[in-house]
Amino acid sequence: MNSMDLEKKIQLNSILDEYIKENALNISDNNYKITNGKSSYTVTKKFFDKPHEKVTGTTTEVIGIGSYDDNNLTLVVMLNPKTFTTGLEKRDQEMDKFFKSEAIFTINDLQLNKAEGEDLRIDQKITGKVLVNGLEKNIDFQVTGLLTDNSVTAEGIAEAKISDFGITPPNLLNVYTMDDAVTLNFEINAIKSQ
């Protein structure tokens, strides 16, 4: 279950609503709200330019909304990247310095053909926009999921570069460095609003 406190959730929802309005996204009254989710990143830490350790940061503080009308799916997922945890508090504090704002993932008007009353299994590459630090990039995610009349479940994985979002891969005197390549993962569960 999502561990976000009410104050954080209200703040993130306000930012999400503003983003939807600013980008004129087609979120109808026939919508699905994310009830819980998880997002993670994995990068390779190198020691003297040789792979040394995989570092994974994970958060469950994920919110979002989507709608499915006339065979078009629109989905907006948002999180605060400063809530990622890697298991080392000092590393998490250092990583926080790289993020200036929330991270937002958007799929807009994805054509899916689902008949009323039938479930639709999704297993395809989907291009979504990822916004981090004010920089937006189209990224291809391999997504699997299930769309029903009452719920959406999905998980996806993609490869990206952290430098695409204005982040210089951290290094310590070129002894320890982080690879520019990053693997992004997400899982969401959403239910239809009544």
Summarised one tens digit per residue, pLDDT across range 57-83 is 999 999 999 988 888 889 999 999 999
b/e per residue 28-62 (b: at least 16 CB within 10 A):
eeebbebeebbbbbbbbbbeeeeeeeebebebbbb
pLDDT tens across 94-104, in order?
Answer: 888 889 889 99
Pick from 35, 51, 75, 43: nearest CA to 156:
75
Pick from 165, 146, 64: nearest CA to 107:
64
Structure tokens at 187: 């899982």
Q: Which residues contact 162 (CB under 8 A, 6 or more apart)?
A: 43, 98, 169, 178, 180, 182
The domain limits of the chain are 6-192
What's residue 28's pLDDT?
76
DSSP 112: -
Q: Which residues contact 192 (CB under 8 A, 6 or more apart)?
A: 30, 31, 32, 149, 150, 151
As a whole number of angstroms, the distance between CA 20 and CA 15 comes to: 9
What's residue 119's pLDDT?
93
What's residue 36's pLDDT?
93
b/e per residue 165-187 (b: at least 16 CB within 10 A):
bebebbeeeeeebbbeebebbbb
What average pLDDT does range 129-142 have in this prediction?
Answer: 95
What's residue 51's pLDDT?
77
| CATH superfamily name and code, 6-192 | Lipid/polyisoprenoid-binding, YceI-like (2.40.128.110)
Cα 57 vs. chain centroid, distance in angstroms? 12
pLDDT bin (cut points 50, 70, 90) of residue 3 is low
What's residue 171's pLDDT?
79
pLDDT bin (cut points 50, 70, 90) of residue 2 is very low
Whole-angstrom CA distances from 132 to 6, 60, 115, 159, 176 are: 24, 18, 35, 15, 24
Q: Does residue 1 have a pLDDT over 60?
A: no
| 177 close to 170: Cβ distance less than 8 angstroms | yes
DSSP 172: E
Q: Does residue 49 have a pLDDT over 60?
A: yes
pLDDT tens across 165-190, in order?
Answer: 999 887 777 778 889 999 999 999 99
For the whole model, what pTM was predicted? 0.86
